[in-house]
Amino acid sequence: MVTSDVEKADAPTIAERDTLSKRESGVTSASPMRLRMESFIKSKQEEIVRELEQLDGTRFTVDKWERPNGGGGITCVLQDGKVFEKAGVNTSIVYGSLPRPAIAKMRINHKALDPDVESLEFFAAGLSMVLHPHNPMAPTVHLNYRYFETANADGTPNAWWFGGGTDLTPSYLFDEDAIHFHRTIKDACDAHDKGYFPRFKKWCDEYFNVKHRHETRGVGGIFFDDLDQEEKDQEQLFSFVQDCLDAFLPSYMPIIRRRKDMPYTEKEKAWQQLRRGRYVEFNLVHDRGTAFGLQTPGARIESILMSLPLTARWQYMHEPEKGSREERMVSVLQKPVDWV
């Protein structure tokens, strides 16, 4: 198809096409993946927020925000609740334009990307969540699932991929919690590909690594990125990501219910605060998503940094006592365990 420059400039952006399509016919299984993913993560966000509000007995603050060039997000935060010190459940939809150097970098993992264009329109949709409970016996949990797509000038998809994962970060280790969390995720993975869980569990241990401390952030879970048509077809991958996200409540709710009202000492609370400090170190020093967000002009900083705990502590040369539960926790972080 030959298009003159004038026609090109007049062509609707994918943001405009999507707005029109949603208005005219809603979102169905025949809609583009962009709209199906957006619709799916928003409904999951509602479901998760509802469930957490019921558990905590506190309402989330809901901030809806729009981006000038299309897209926007919903940031739901619960602060100083009865169960959660801080809980954030965030969806964001981004329409934007990738410059040539960013395209070149992405081509390493996605050969479908056209190297001969000056810029490409892109779309990104994701759900991100971090829950930090008050009780030091109750683990922090993180989850993120996202879909990324680049578009040709006529609005058809050029390249696309899914990424995401979830990981559990206890201050005190209860083996049964780690086993339950991993078991639930493994079941979701196994339904799609027996190879997924071992592959993505390893990727998780490698990614959520506080390198300068020689410790993983927590007891792991799964992590994957860049899953595209070389992995499986789009429908299969979407279905996999849906099952992963559906597995969240069953993976975490039994754990938080067991731990939220356990008795604890001041010393145990202080240990949790030190572990929160390590969480901050990972998120600010090593997490690529956070770094990308903080560098993005016009990014909504408060939504990105909702992942940080309400409070954290850094104590010089703190060493857990020999034979203590704190020491066992650290030793597991230094040498990841296969829980299932």
Q: Which of residues 129-188 bind its own copies (CB under 8 A)?
A: none
- Binding string to its own copies for residues 202 to 221, with x set by CB under 8 A, is what? ---------xxx--------
Q: Considering the rule CB under 8 A, would residue 17 count as an interface residue with its own copies?
A: no
Interface with its own copies (CB under 8 A), residue from 38, 177, 228, 281: 281
Among 179, 249, 253, 284, binds its own copies (CB under 8 A): 284
Q: Is 134 a catalytic residue?
A: no
* Selected binder of its own copies within 97, 262, 310, 327 (CB under 8 A): 310
What is the end-to-end Cα distance of the chain in Å, rounded? 54
65 binds its own copies (CB under 8 A): no
The reply to whether 311 sits near its own copies by the rule CB under 8 A is yes
Rounded Cα gap, residues 318 and 149, in angstroms: 45
Tokens of 144: 């993120």
DSSP-assigned letter for residue 317: T
Task: Please calculate the CA angle 77-80-86 and round it to the nearest 5 degrees.
Answer: 45
The span from the CA of 272 to the CA of 88, in Å, is 19
- Residue 294 touching its own copies (CB under 8 A): yes
Under rule CB under 8 A, which residues in 82-101 are in contact with its own copies? 86, 88
Per CB under 8 A, the segment of 136-144, 148-156, 225-233, 301-309 that binds its own copies is 301-309
> Which residue's CB is nearer to its own copies, number 88 or number 163?
88
The residue length of the chain stands at 340
Integer CA distances (angstroms), 18 to 14, 235, 238, in order: 6, 19, 19
Q: Does 288 bind its own copies (CB under 8 A)?
A: no
Contact call for residue 305 and its own copies (CB under 8 A): yes
275: exposed, middle or buried (Cβ count in 10 Å: 0-12, 13-18, 19+): buried
Q: Does 53 bind its own copies (CB under 8 A)?
A: no
3-state secondary structure of 195: coil
Using CB under 8 A as the binding criterion, the count of chain residues that bind its own copies stands at 33
